Structure 1
Amino acid sequence: MIIQTSASPVAAPLDGHGGHGDASDLVRGISPVLEVPFTDDGDVDVEGFGRVVDYVLGTGVTSVMFPGFASEYYKLTEEERRELTGVLLRRTAGREGFAAIVAVQDHTTRLAVARAREVVAAGADLINLLAPHFLNPSRRAQIEHVSAVLAAVAPTPVVLQYAPAETGASLDAATIAGLVRSHPNLRLVKVESSPPGRLIGELAALDPPVISLEGYAGVQLPDAWRRGAVGSQPGCSFTEIYVEIWRRLTSGDEAGGEELHRRLLPYISYWMLDTELIIAAEKQISFRRGLIGSAHCRGPAHVLDAEELRRIEVFLQEFADLLPDLSG
């Protein structure tokens, strides 16, 4: 069970496509989670997904992640997931200074280990690992699961995704620190607790420090950055806004970054009230921008009402200077 790419499967790389340094060094700044376009009939638009990948690669980011919640991974068949992962890895293979992060969310440890090894062999630069959460496994079971995957793919770098609101998982800084000591290839933690800042700060204060990314659509991005986060992993339909916020924050214009984030916050704070809501909103934005051919979400899904659609139009008008039309 190997994902087919244009190149032969390769052994676990430490240095990313560019061959310079550790691939985890490329997971900095904005690292978007790719969406999956469907046709109006609900079929996967493979060609459209290729356009999504190409668009995101052109926004100046140095890494992307697939598949995540924003990708509706839980609505994809194994064949669809494998095909789309192949599309991503073919487009990023040999791309210097860029890292492809492939996610592993399997609940069963055996399947998670198998998938992680498979995507590493296919060319993934990093693994994004979501701890098991179905039927509320114990913390010990979660640690054993994470440890097994880390050991299976070493030395390939791993991002541990901590999303307690979506999964009910409960991990603290001391637990994560223990995992890092036992498995040096655990390089980053994607913190999606609400708010994330306290855990990000606790991880940064460890000896040695544990590096964090902020998720959750960037709702707490400036605070996370001030507390030590090295980047953020939002959705991908308006990547340019996040890239500009990050550029301002990290180039000495903290006030400018804060101001742009304040403009964005009323939209993303509403959309993030429900995961299916922000998926539907981001797909509508991508559709209106001309990036994808349909805003379809596989059911069960959030159906945007008239006011939510109107607010998306307001959003597109407000940020028109940062969001060019992509239909050409």
Structure 2
Amino acid sequence: MPRLSEAARGVFVIAPTPFAEDGALDLASAERMTEFFLAAGASGLTLLGVMGEAPKLDAEEALRFAACVLRRVDGRVPVVVGVSAPGFAAMRTLARGAMQAGAAGVMIAPPAGLRGDDAVLAYMAQAAEVVGDAPWVLQDFPQANGIHVSVEMIRRLAADPRLVMLKAEDWPGLDKITALRRLEAEGGIRRLSILGGNGGLFLPHELARGADGVMTGYAVPEMLVRVCRLMEEGRKEAAHDLFDLHLPLIRYETQPGLGLAVRKHVLARRGVIASPALRAPAPRLTPETVAEVEFLLRRLAARDPEAALGT
């Protein structure tokens, strides 16, 4: 099975966790979703992230879902499993089980409530020991946890060779990407793979600043793949033209508290998962919201055939 490394690039799609209407895991949809993401050109997958409803799964369910996707992937692309948890015992169990099932690495975010740089660095050092020899991703997402991770803190964390990737979700965060790549060029930090996030809102700009790709769950990942390819080919204007077509839907998906419900609705409309159900407690889309999403989807499908809906 592939192991995650500093060379990782492209689109790592964050997979939602499919549920049936009664809240049970829908592993048939998980398999179909996996094949869809691979056919869309995903360079990797990420499971049990913030948008994967991980806190709503018990330990057995989390491992069962991860194992299902990993079996379906069968080593074709690296799979990252989010293992952030309130306690280290749960983190250790999930990390060990995921790696044994074939995961390429794990993702860790510092929890809310840590005070000061030293506390954050100490926590991450302990967490890195908990996950053993697994390559790990630092999720820098202050909007979710209130933790600001500076460039200097990332430099210090990079002393651990198991840290191979930064999921860069600080906002504003473009200058942080530039600062890290500049520090790397000066020999002040070893190379890390940098993937953007935040729903893909800043993808072309992140790539221009030195990011290697994106790790997000936007429901039309084919566009993300094409934008990365166009930017790599030096076709900046074409990349932005394509990205701009999708920006209204990306913006709608990125609403705090509602975004996952919108994303699952779109994936269900595209025939990727059987149901848009979220596990309770969760928001429900009002008829007015559904109508707005459908309007955006119709406009997008008319302009970009790869965004076509299912039956």
Tell me the CA shift for residue 285 of structure 1: 0.5
Map 1:81-120 → 2, pairs under 5 A: 81-95=62-76, 98-120=77-99
Moved more, 151-160 or 236-245: 151-160
Structure 2 match to 1:165? 143
Kindly indicate whether the alpha-carbon contact (under 8 Å) linking 1:196 and 1:220 is maintained by their aligned counterparts in 2: no
Structure 2 match to 1:202? 179
- The whole-number CA distance in structure 2 between the counterparts of 1:58 and 1:255 is 26
Q: Does the C-alpha gap of structure 1 residues 289 and 219 become closer, same or farther in structure 2, counting only changes over 3 Å?
A: same
TM-score, with length taken from structure 2? 0.90
Kindly indicate whether the alpha-carbon contact (under 8 Å) linking 1:59 and 1:239 is maintained by their aligned counterparts in 2: yes
Structure 2 match to 1:147? 125
Tell me the CA shift for residue 69 of structure 1: 1.6
Structure 2 match to 1:245? 227
Kindly indicate whether the alpha-carbon contact (under 8 Å) linking 1:26 and 1:62 is maintained by their aligned counterparts in 2: no
Tell me the CA shift for residue 72 of structure 1: 1.3
Kindly indicate whether the alpha-carbon contact (under 8 Å) linking 1:29 and 1:232 is maintained by their aligned counterparts in 2: yes
Structure 1 match to 2:205? 223
Structure 1 match to 2:170? 193
Post-superposition Cα deviations, 1:93-120, rounded to whole Å, max 9, x if no partner, equal 343xx10111111122343234323322
- The whole-number CA distance in structure 1 between the counterparts of 2:139 and 2:108 is 6
Structure 2 match to 1:23? 4
- The whole-number CA distance in structure 2 between the counterparts of 1:119 and 1:77 is 14
Post-superposition Cα deviations, 1:267-310, rounded to whole Å, max 9, x if no partner, equal 22233131x31101111101111111111112232222233212
Structure 2 match to 1:68? 49
Unaligned runs of 5+ in 1: 1-15
Q: Does the C-alpha gap of structure 1 residues 298 and 200 become closer, same or farther in structure 2, counting only changes over 3 Å?
A: same
Kindly indicate whether the alpha-carbon contact (under 8 Å) linking 1:34 and 1:236 is maintained by their aligned counterparts in 2: no
Q: Does the C-alpha gap of structure 1 residues 244 and 319 become closer, same or farther in structure 2, counting only changes over 3 Å?
A: farther
Structure 2 match to 1:299? 280
- The whole-number CA distance in structure 2 between the counterparts of 1:103 and 1:83 is 14
- The whole-number CA distance in structure 2 between the counterparts of 1:136 and 1:155 is 25
**Counterpart AA for 1:40:** E
Kindly indicate whether the alpha-carbon contact (under 8 Å) linking 1:26 and 1:63 is maintained by their aligned counterparts in 2: no
**Counterpart AA for 1:322:** E
Kindly indicate whether the alpha-carbon contact (under 8 Å) linking 1:203 and 1:212 is maintained by their aligned counterparts in 2: no
Post-superposition Cα deviations, 1:147-187, rounded to whole Å, max 9, x if no partner, equal 12324446432110011001111210101101112x01111
Tell me the CA shift for residue 256 of structure 1: 0.9
The reply to whether residue 35 of structure 1 matches residue 16 of structure 2 is yes
Structure 2 match to 1:132? 111
**Counterpart AA for 1:257:** A
- The whole-number CA distance in structure 2 between the counterparts of 1:60 and 1:266 is 22
Kindly indicate whether the alpha-carbon contact (under 8 Å) linking 1:23 and 1:157 is maintained by their aligned counterparts in 2: yes
**Counterpart AA for 1:169:** I
TM-score, with length taken from structure 1? 0.85
Kindly indicate whether the alpha-carbon contact (under 8 Å) linking 1:108 and 1:132 is maintained by their aligned counterparts in 2: no
**Counterpart AA for 2:152:** A
Post-superposition Cα deviations, 1:192-245, rounded to whole Å, max 9, x if no partner, equal 111221111122122234431100101111111111110111115211121122
The reply to whether residue 255 of structure 1 matches residue 233 of structure 2 is no
Which of 4, 25, 33 does residue 44 from structure 1 map onto? 25
Post-superposition Cα deviations, 1:301-328, rounded to whole Å, max 9, x if no partner, equal 222223321232223223320124456x
Kindly indicate whether the alpha-carbon contact (under 8 Å) linking 1:35 and 1:236 is maintained by their aligned counterparts in 2: no
Question: Percent same amino acid among aligned pairs?
Answer: 27
